[in-house]
């Protein structure tokens, strides 16, 4: 997120982490939704998306993380014999995406826990800043 | 300490606040605008108010987006709202200290 305020760096950094893991959640949900998507052999298979994270330089303590790009799985996919499929070629083959549901579930858990961890950091930082503001009050 | 109480209060407000001093990465940037420090207390104050205004505007825009379904990241809004709230609290805390210091001086009697 754009840093309007650099006095609250920890919250912004945690926000950048949440953005990356949210993107990972989006990508993984799309991969899982398309786990059984068959495509004609004339074109590429559905390509699973993988989020590539990259650290952001900024100040002495760093500037968080951002999505550097989206990696794609093999467009060849898995050639599968499925003559009843409406997209099957003359020999009865279709392309299934080159991805594994178990891998995607693992990524899903990683994205979920990563998001929660960053949300916890934002929460703690908020508490700390509030403690600083209330110093000496009362 | 060689400075008088009111100067130290103003110094706290115009330079890095106690909150910002804890943070190592450009600590005074929000309240003072640059790394070299403000030229005067008035400049610092106007920059702080501008930053405050910006944070409120950002939070408002994101709140509208969240209400109309035009926000991609929900946490963008909650973070902006919390940061705006924190900045307001910081500003009021500084104001309270300044007023306290002023009142303290006004109570001085020979």
- List pLDDT tens digits, range A55-97: 998 777 888 999 999 999 999 999 999 999 999 999 999 999 9
Q: Does B52 touch chain A (CB under 8 A)?
A: no
* B5/chain A closest Cα distance in angstroms: 16
Which residue is closest to B32 within chain A, CA to CA?
A: A7
Which pLDDT belongs to residue B44? Answer: 81
Concatenated DSSP letters for A39-106? EETTSPPPPPEEEEEEE---STT---EEEEEEEE--TT-EEEE-TTSTT--TTSEEEE-S--HHHHHH
pTM: 0.72
Determine contact: B43 vs chain A, CB below 8 A. no
Share the mean pLDDT of chain A.
90
**DSSP SS3 for B32:** helix
As a whole number of angstroms, the distance between CA B108 and CA B102 comes to 10
- Work out the number of other CB atoms within 10 angstroms of the CB of residue A67: 16
């Amino acid at each position: 997120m754009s840093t309007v305020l650099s006095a609250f760096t920890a919250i912004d950094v945690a926000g950048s982490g949440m953005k990356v893991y949210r993107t990972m959640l989006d990508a993984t949900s799309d991969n899982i939704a398309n786990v059984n998507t068959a495509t004609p052999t004339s074109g590429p298979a559905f390509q699973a998306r993988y989020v590539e994270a990259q650290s952001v330089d900024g100040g002495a303590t760093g500037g968080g993380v951002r999505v550097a790009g989206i990696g794609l799985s093999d467009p060849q996919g898995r050639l599968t014999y499925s003559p009843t499929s409406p997209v099957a070629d003359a020999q009865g083959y279709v392309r299934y995406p080159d991805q594994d549901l178990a891998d995607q579930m693992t990524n899903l858990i990683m994205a979920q826990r990563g998001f929660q961890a960053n949300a916890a950091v934002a929460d703690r930082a908020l508490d700390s800043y509030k403690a600083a503001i209330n110093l000496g009050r009362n | 300490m060689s400075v008088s109480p009111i100067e130290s209060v103003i110094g706290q407000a115009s330079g890095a606040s106690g909150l910002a001093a804890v943070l190592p990465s450009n600590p005074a940037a929000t309240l003072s605008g640059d790394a070299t420090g403000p030229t005067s207390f008035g400049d610092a104050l106007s920059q702080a108010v501008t930053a405050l205004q910006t944070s409120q505007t950002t939070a408002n825009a994101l709140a509208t987006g969240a209400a109309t379904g035009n926000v991609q990241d929900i946490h963008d809004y909650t973070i902006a709202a919390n940061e705006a709230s924190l900045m307001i609290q910081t500003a009021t805390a500084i104001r309270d200290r300044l007023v306290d210091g002023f009142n303290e001086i006004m109570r001085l009697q020979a």
